[in-house]
Each structure stands twice: as C-alpha cells, then as structure tokens.
Structure 1
Amino acid sequence: MNSSLALIINVPILFLLYVLTYFTQALSGKRQFYGISLNSDYFYKDEFKTLDKKYKLFTTIGFIISLTLELIFVYIFKAYLISSILPMLVFCLYNFILYVNIHNKVKILKSKLAPNISDLDLEKTSVILDTDFIVEKNKIVKKYSLILLIPLIIATLVGIYVLANYNSIPDIIPTHWGLKGNADAFADKSFIKIFSIVVMMIMFGVIIYLASIYSLKSRVKLDPNFIDNSKKSQLYYLNMFGITFLMLNIGCQILFINILIATMNGSSVNPFILWTATIIIILTAIYQTYLYYKSPNKNKNASYSIDDDDSLWILGSIYNNPNDPSIFVNKRFGAGWTINIGTTKGKIFFILPFIIIILSLFFI
C-alpha cells in the first residue's frame, strides 16, 4: 500500500463517520434529544439548540483532529495499517465522550426546566393493544424468520463441506486478502485454524440472523390519534425492514462463503463477488438507515411505552430493564436497535460477539 491508496481508502471512511455522527440527533427521531425523552416542540428552544450546536461544533473539531492524525501516520510515519485503524478509533472515542457530556447537560437542563414547563416530557399515552395488528405483525416476523434462514443454512453447508475436505486444502492457507482479492498474508494449515474460521463465520451468521429477527420483533408504537393509518404504516415499514435484513444477510453470507472457498483453495477471493457483496451491504445499510429515520416508531405522536422512561437507560444509550421481555428496542441516539442488557438473553447476546472474536483470534 502507498500513501495515495491509504488516503483514498481511509479518508472517505473517516468522512462518512463524521457525517453520520454530525447528523446522529437528526436520525434519532422526534422522541429523544441526545438520549433524553423530550417533547420535540422544545428541540429548538434556545437552551437545547445551543447544546446541539456545541455537539456539532466539537464533532467537526474531532474530525479535523482525526484527519490530521491520518495525514501524519500516512506521510510522516508511513504507518499505513495504523492509519486505517487508529484515527477512526480516536474519532469514535472522542465522539462518545462528547456525546456523554452533551447528554448529561441535556438531562440537567430538562430537570431544571421541568417544574415550569408542564409539557416538556413526552405525553404518557395509554398502551394500545390491537390483537389483529399483533397477528399481522407476527405473520411478517414468522415469514422472515424462515426466509432469513436460507442464506445462513447455505453458508453452514459450505463450512461443513470445507471441513469435510480438509485433506485437500493446501499446507499454506491465506489469512488476509487485499482490495483486489489477492491474498497478502498466509499461515500454516491446521485443523483447529480451519475449524475456528468455519465456526467463527457460522456464529457471526447466527448473530446476524438473530439480530435481524429480534429487531423485527421489537416493540411497535402506534399513533393513538390515527390508529388505522398507523397500523398500515407500521406493517409496511416492518415488511421493508424484513427485506433490508434479508439483503444484509445475503451480502454477509456471500462474503463468508467467498472467504471460505478462498481459504479451502489457498487462493485469492473473487474480487467481483467481494465488491458486489460489499456494495450490497453498504447500499442496503444506507437505505435501512433511511427507513429507520422515517419509521413511525420515532414520530412525536407514537404511543408512550416503558422504554421511553429515562431512568431505565444508562447514558441514554444502554437499555437496562429486567421487567421488559423485549431483547431489542429502538435506539435513543442514532438509527437502529440496541440490546436490553437487563434480560438474560440480552446479556448473552451482548457478550457473545466479543467471545467469538477473542476465541477466533486465540485459535487462529
């Protein structure tokens, strides 16, 4: 890798991180402001607006610092590997600290204003239980629970095939591939290495599958003022989320299979397949972010639910409620879903990826 290639790869990624963090509050919907439940009519009140501007200003400063680090590592130290990791990590850590600071200030400001403003918090509407809607939602979830198994099963069968043909695998196997698909790092073959690669990819496939399903199962919030339209809208978005999860699953499993086949043959990965799958994942993730931004769950008038309670969130980003059976709930800050670490399944789901990564690195 040379300086130009390092910048061509790393700078756009860093800029994308900057854009996503800069507009994170906008993607968060109209129910929470920097992780705090708040009537969206007050998002643009001077005190809150000032905090929003401060977050964006310091996010920009963080980007400039990270970009400077990128240039230093590339042009002065010629440390191309470090340049592709450290500036991004620095920016993410810096931005998290910045978010926590703004979150705490919003929390204090809300407490200060609440005694004098009766409608500062979200309106606590009654819970809406519509059995017909629940039946329709469960049908969609069940449909995608079956469809999303297909790419996982195919990847698993490929993994079993690779293990069954272990003796035909070359004595030297590739462990890393470049942007053009060429292998650029190698290791001696051993059964435990091949087995750990297969298990790692299958387990990540399982995690992706479960994350997709539990996200679809997450709580839906109907608009009590427009029940019928709200039900239709929620079912439409649920189905669209199912389609995007399917595309993400397919893209990830194609990458896994491509790597498994290259490992088995001791060869390069197919660059066309590599980039096609990568583009599918990126475009689908962007579209899913848009869907989440437009989701009825994030509307101001969506019904109030237990996860709207500030006291059940750690720093406005970690949901901890043992009394809520939901494993996944909507994020408060940003687009997507987060885990309820208050449940046993949530705790397992939270730590499982870290265990897989550690074990994989240990065995490989």
Structure 2
Amino acid sequence: MSVPGRLYLLVLLPPTVAALLLWATWNSLPDHLPTHWNLAGDADTWQPKSPVTVLAQLFTVPVVLLLGLAVASSILWMRSGNVFEPGGAGTTTEALNIWHGAKETAPVVGRYFVLLSLAATVTAAGGYLILPGGHGAGGLTAVAGILGIVASTVYLLLAVDRIDRAVTGRFPLPDGRRRKWLLFLEAPGSASVMLSSGDGWNWTFNVATRAGRMLALLTLVVLTGVSAVLVVSAVVGV
C-alpha cells in the first residue's frame, strides 16, 4: 500500500514557490547571498548570487525528504503485503487490521513529508529576509522550522492514532491489542514491556505499561529532536 503519487509532487511545491518568488525579486537581492546563519540571525557565510546557490539552498532538504517518502512508502507497501506471507499475521482479522491500517496511514505519511518540506523551505527562504535593524531572519526561521517539524510530528501521531482506533474497532487484534503512535502497541492485558508487532517484522514497546510508555515517549522525543536538528542544520548550518 503506497503513498499517493500527487503527494510526491507536493513535497517539491514549497521550494518551487519560494524559488519563483525569489526569482521575481532577483534584482533586489544582494550580490552575495547568505548560505549560513547563526541563531542571532546574522549571516556569516556568503556565496556570489546565482540561481545555483538559491536552488541548492531551497531544494536540498526537500529532495532528501522526497527520497525518505519513497522509503516510507516502500515500507508500508512491504508491511501490508508481508501479513499474507509465512510468519506474518496470525489470523485473518489481524491481517486485515494491518492491511487497512497501512492503506489509511499511507496518505497521512505523505502529508507529513509535505509539511516537513514546508518547514524546511521556510527555514531556507527566510534567511533572505531582512528584519528591521538590518538583521537577517535566519535565526527566527530556524526556530520556526523546528516548531514546524514538532507540530508536523504531533499531527502525524494524532492522525495515525485516530486511524488505529478506527481500524482496530473494525478488525480487533488479539488480546485487545491496538497500534499506538505508529510505532508501538497498547495491550492492556499484558504486563510485558516488549511485544511482537504481530506482522513478523519486529518487536515494539507496550505503551499500556509505565515503562513502555516512558521508553516510547523517549523514542519519539529523540527521533523528533534529531530530525529537527538535521533538517535545520542542513538548511542553515546552525
């Protein structure tokens, strides 16, 4: 079950719009464009103004995100197909749960990558904005990019949790288990911190236990934080 093709194009829409806007105001841009900003918003590295400089600044992260979306889509496709293979889902109901969950999750994951692309573009394009007092907006847009990534991740988790509830209501998993926050399981009847994911792939945390919740939240915080730092660093080098 793969991500809709139109969402791949939408990942490239924010940097494309930003590039067109910068091209429309090309003559007003300085002869040397900033390519690195500190958190105070001051540029400390410049390159001669050229389309290559702008395009590299705007499109590097979105192109990486595009590749990441392709990988995520492939994982969902393999996950939905794996349930019907030996060692996959234990029951027909469990297989249907996983298959429909992957089907409904795919477009949500696609929209998540579009939002990440928007956050990265705001971070990159904002560096060309000059604030009152002559300071660049690079520091502010870096913070905005981090907040955008966090907000996008919250959207992803809430949307996937809603899908999991709906799908599990139609196709209940054994022992009352249900998927939680995309990566984890909630099994109120089990005291185990780790549970089999049920599709033959791996093990995951049981968020019905206190230790499982703490480890799951720590995992999400680390993943979100690392992603935010990598995206912003790739754009502005902060």
Per the normalisation by structure 2, the TM-score is: 0.51
Taking the aligned partners of 2:136 and 2:75, their CA distance within structure 1 comes to 37
Taking the aligned partners of 2:90 and 2:100, their CA distance within structure 1 comes to 17
Q: Following superposition of structure 1 onto structure 2, how do residues 9-24 of structure 1 map, counting pairs within 5 Å? A: none
Residue of structure 1 aligned with 2:71, choices 193, 197, 211:
211
Deviation at 1:251, TM superposition (A): 2.5
Q: 1:170 to 1:280 in 2, by over 3 A?
A: same
In the alignment, structure 1 residue 299 sits paired with structure 2 residue 200: no
Residue of structure 2 aligned with 1:232, choices 88, 93, 97:
97
Letter in 1 for 2:63: M
Q: Following superposition of structure 1 onto structure 2, how do residues 1-364 of structure 1 map, counting pairs within 5 Å? A: 137=1, 141=2, 144-163=4-23, 165-179=25-39, 182-191=41-50, 192-220=52-80, 221-222=82-83, 223-240=88-105, 242-263=107-128, 267-269=136-138, 270-271=140-141, 273-281=144-152, 283=154, 290-294=181-185, 299=196, 302=199
Deviation at 1:286, TM superposition (A): 7.3
Q: Is the 8 A contact 1:247 1:280 kept in 2?
A: no
Letter in 1 for 2:183: Y
Q: Is the 8 A contact 1:170 1:264 kept in 2?
A: no
Taking the aligned partners of 1:261 and 1:163, their CA distance within structure 2 comes to 15
Q: Deviations over 1:133-167 (max 9, x none)?
A: xxxx4xxx35x332353242232232243245433
Q: 1:198 to 1:216 in 2, by over 3 A?
A: same
Q: 1:300 to 1:167 in 2, by over 3 A?
A: closer
Q: Is the 8 A contact 1:248 1:285 kept in 2?
A: no
Number of corresponding residues: 166
Q: 1:178 to 1:241 in 2, by over 3 A?
A: farther
Q: Is the 8 A contact 2:119 2:149 kept in 1?
A: no
Identity across aligned pairs (percent)? 10
Taking the aligned partners of 1:212 and 1:159, their CA distance within structure 2 comes to 27
Taking the aligned partners of 1:286 and 1:226, their CA distance within structure 2 comes to 26
Q: Is the 8 A contact 1:172 1:188 kept in 2?
A: yes
Q: Is the 8 A contact 1:258 1:274 kept in 2?
A: yes
Unaligned runs of 5+ in 2: 161-179, 187-194, 203-218, 221-233
Taking the aligned partners of 1:151 and 1:166, their CA distance within structure 2 comes to 24
More helix by share: 1
Q: Is the 8 A contact 2:36 2:44 kept in 1?
A: yes
Deviation at 1:282, TM superposition (A): 5.2
Q: Is the 8 A contact 1:178 1:184 kept in 2?
A: yes
Q: Is the 8 A contact 2:12 2:62 kept in 1?
A: yes
Deviation at 1:268, TM superposition (A): 0.9
Taking the aligned partners of 1:169 and 1:232, their CA distance within structure 2 comes to 54
Deviation at 1:250, TM superposition (A): 0.5
Taking the aligned partners of 1:231 and 1:250, their CA distance within structure 2 comes to 29
Deviation at 1:231, TM superposition (A): 0.9
Q: 1:238 to 1:294 in 2, by over 3 A?
A: farther
Tell me the SS of whatever aligns to 1:187.
Answer: strand
Partner residue, 1:331: none
